[in-house]
Amino acid sequence: MYSAGGLEDLRPYGARSVNRWSSYNELCRIPGTKSSIASLMHSRDSVSSGRSRPVPDRYAGVGQPRGRALVILGPIVALIAAAAALGVAAIGQDGYRAETLIAATIVAFVALFLAVILLYRQVRRRQATGRALQNIEARVTDIVESAMDPVIAVDQDQRVVLFNAAAEKAFLWPRAAVLGEPLDKLMPERFREGHRAHIARFGEAGMTSRRMGSQMVLMALRADGVEFPIEASISQHTEDGNKLFTVILRDITERVRAESLLARNEARLRGILDSAMDAIITIDETQHIVLFNAAAEAMFGCPREEAIGAPLAWFIPERFRAAHASHVRGFGETGTASRRMGTLRIVIGLRRSGEEFPIDASISQVTDRGSKFFTVILRDVTARVRAEEALSRSREELRELGATAHQAREQENSRIARELHDELAQSLTALQMDVAWCKERLPDEQKALAKKLERMETLLDTTVTATRRMAADLRPLMLDDLGLLPAVEWLVDNFTERTGVPCELAVSTSDLKLHNAHATAVFRIIQESLANIAKHARASRAEVAIEDNGSEVTISVRDDGLGFSPHDPRKPNSFGLAGLRERAYLLGGEAAIISAPGRGTNIEVRLPVAPMPFSQ
């Protein structure tokens, strides 16, 4: 059940100390005697040991039989001796024989009276002592029987002489089946020989008491053959030349199970921490490291043994240390369980080599036994930052390329439109004039030729109109010649004329001046929006608004048509709205499209603009 050399070693758990009784010695010693309850209760299977207490006055005679006999019998013997002497003297004298016999008789009666009184008092005192011993016996018996821990006492032959109720419950043996049996009955067979040697060594050592298995968990054996872990302390005392050993046990099955589960959980957590791809660091309230996982070792180039106990400032660039310490203290005061660090920026870490690198971090806090601990999960985002920088450069290059492409296309459209207007349209106009001249000079009898000239004149009129329309669609010359507002006014009027849908134009200022690229973008956005209304909206009215606040120009085109769901998939080969967003993006702006089925559509585009000199 418990021995130094023959016990099942569960060292991960046995080294943990628990509070327990070391012995029942003080409770079991009878005041004023050299005997323990075991000597008075042997028939009731009770035995205990310990140090004696001071002797109360009412028990002054208990335990000192020879001295007490002399104190009680001395005066009586003296009186009897005196009476005998008087009797002998009376026999030897003739004159005073009667008086001497009377005196001897009186002395004898006095001695007898004193002897009766003293014997009565002694009997009463012994009765009181007996009752006290019975009370002590009952009290100790109640204490031992009501103890929550098993209490077992064995003699020097290691046979059980005491087995309390808790022991019955723990070992599943009835008391009668254990008393007088070897203690080996309660321990696994593989430990019995070692246990006997352990008890013998303890008895020879002369120690009063000690804990058993201080570095391990001991194993005991139940009646059903099941082994279970225990903690034990042992004490000894000698009575009438015989040693008695008292062992107090505690069944720690649940504690060992809980500690085993805790150890498995800790091992599992350690495995998770060490296999985590992100660095995990835990610091205490003084911001010194108490946990440093394998990923953190790799990230910061610092071994765990060196990092544990070191200040967190080791891994923070010097220029950020004061702010970071203040940030952690402030986070601790908020009581927030967790949050991300550096929400709007990347946090900078410092490797032991002195290299700085960007990290993404989140922090959490927990309070354990009144102390706060902060856990930071870190991720090296060097590759991500480089990718983002490369993506940003690529987007900027694409935007510049797109803007250049749009500008080149607008320039080409302007060139073609001007050529259509200045060359083809003028040539067609000249041809119209020539046809008109021919008609005026054609003889009346040439009616067939006159009809041909009329058809030619009509065709020329249609061709000139189409040419002007194509030139305006490519780029209205008034946008370059007269400016943005006249071009937009022409666009709105042309929309109303072609579709019959009333359209209102609202401008915040009549002196709107924008750079050529912005003016072109505003015109094209309005042009494309009105084209979408004409094709799809089935609207009864439309509104166009342009607002300039100096740093931003806002274009809004609204209709009361059918509307649509912006979340619906885009139709094949439909790039109207995508073109709006692209134009806004190329100029650093943004486009918002608000629509719902049956509630019309509102297109709002915001473009940042730089102040334009008045001379331009």
Q: Could you tell me if 588 and 440 lie in one domain?
A: no
Rounded CA-CA distance 449/459 in Å is 15
Q: Could you tell me if 34 and 121 lie in one domain?
A: yes
Q: Could you tell me if 124 and 218 lie in one domain?
A: no
* Structure tokens that stand for 66 in this block: 């020879």
* 538 DSSP 8-state letter: -
pLDDT tens profile 505-553:
999 887 788 888 888 888 888 988 998 899 888 899 999 999 988 888 9
Q: Which of 484, 405, 498, 20 is nearest to 231 (CA)?
A: 20
Cα pseudo-dihedral 97, 101, 102, 105, rounded to 10 = 180
- Contact (Cβ atoms closer than 8 angstroms) between residue 53 and residue 63: no
Residue 364 lies in a domain: yes
Task: Pick the range with the lowest mean pLDDT from 95-109, 275-289, 402-416, 494-508.
Answer: 95-109
Q: Domain limits at 530?
A: 477-608
Residue 457 lies in a domain: yes
- Measured CA distances, 608 to 403, 406, 549, 589, 616 (Å): 15, 18, 10, 6, 18
Is the model's pLDDT at 345 over the cut of 80?
no
Q: Is 608 helix (H, G, I), strand (E, B) or coil?
A: strand
Q: Could you tell me if 361 and 285 lie in one domain?
A: yes
Q: Could you tell me if 376 and 421 lie in one domain?
A: no
Residue 616 lies in a domain: no
Say what the pLDDT of residue 66 is: 52
Is the model's pLDDT at 282 over the cut of 80?
yes
Q: Could you tell me if 510 and 579 lie in one domain?
A: yes
Say what the pLDDT of residue 543 is: 94
State which H helix or E strand residue 113 sits in: helix 97-146
pLDDT tens profile 293-315:
999 999 999 999 999 999 999 99
Say what the pLDDT of residue 305 is: 92
Rounded CA-CA distance 462/465 in Å is 5
Residue 139 lies in a domain: yes
Q: Which of 333, 358, 380 corresponds to the end of one domain?
A: 380
Q: Could you tell me if 324 and 447 lie in one domain?
A: no
Q: Which amino acid is at 460?
A: L
* Structure tokens that stand for 163 in this block: 């087995």
Q: Could you tell me if 14 and 50 lie in one domain?
A: no
Summarize the confidence of residues 608-616 as an average pLDDT. 57
Q: Could you tell me if 170 and 237 lie in one domain?
A: yes
* 189 DSSP 8-state letter: G
Q: Could you tell me if 10 and 45 lie in one domain?
A: no
**More confident position, 197 or 414:** 197
Q: Which of 446, 473, 500 corresponds to the end of one domain?
A: 473
Residue 485 lies in a domain: yes
Say what the pLDDT of residue 572 is: 65
Residue 568 lies in a domain: yes
* Structure tokens that stand for 455 in this block: 């058809």
Q: Could you tell me if 122 and 167 lie in one domain?
A: no
- Contact (Cβ atoms closer than 8 angstroms) between residue 186 and residue 199: no
pLDDT tens profile 412-433:
877 887 777 777 878 888 888 8
Rounded CA-CA distance 273/297 in Å is 12
Q: Which of 316, 346, 380 corresponds to the end of one domain?
A: 380
Residue 242 lies in a domain: yes
- Contact (Cβ atoms closer than 8 angstroms) between residue 151 and residue 162: yes
pLDDT tens profile 428-474:
888 888 888 888 888 877 788 888 888 888 888 888 888 877 877 77
Rounded CA-CA distance 366/332 in Å is 9
Cβ atoms within 10 Å, residue 539:
20
Q: Could you tell me if 141 and 119 lie in one domain?
A: yes
- Measured CA distances, 203 to 161, 188, 239 (Å): 17, 22, 13
Q: Computed from CA positions of residues 471, 476, 480, 482, in that sequence, does the dihedral angle turn out positive or negative? A: positive
Residue 164 lies in a domain: yes
- Contact (Cβ atoms closer than 8 angstroms) between residue 426 and residue 467: no
Q: Which of 397, 404, 459, 400 is nearest to 428 (CA)?
A: 459
For the chain, give the percent of residues with pLDDT over 90: 21
Is the model's pLDDT at 351 over the cut of 80?
yes
Average pLDDT, the chain: 78
pLDDT band at residue 91 under the 50/70/90 scheme: low
**More confident position, 491 or 400:** 491
**For the chain, how many structural domains are there in total?**
5
- Contact (Cβ atoms closer than 8 angstroms) between residue 607 and residue 552: yes
Phi, psi dihedral angles at 477 (to 5 degrees):
-65, -25
pLDDT band at residue 55 under the 50/70/90 scheme: very low
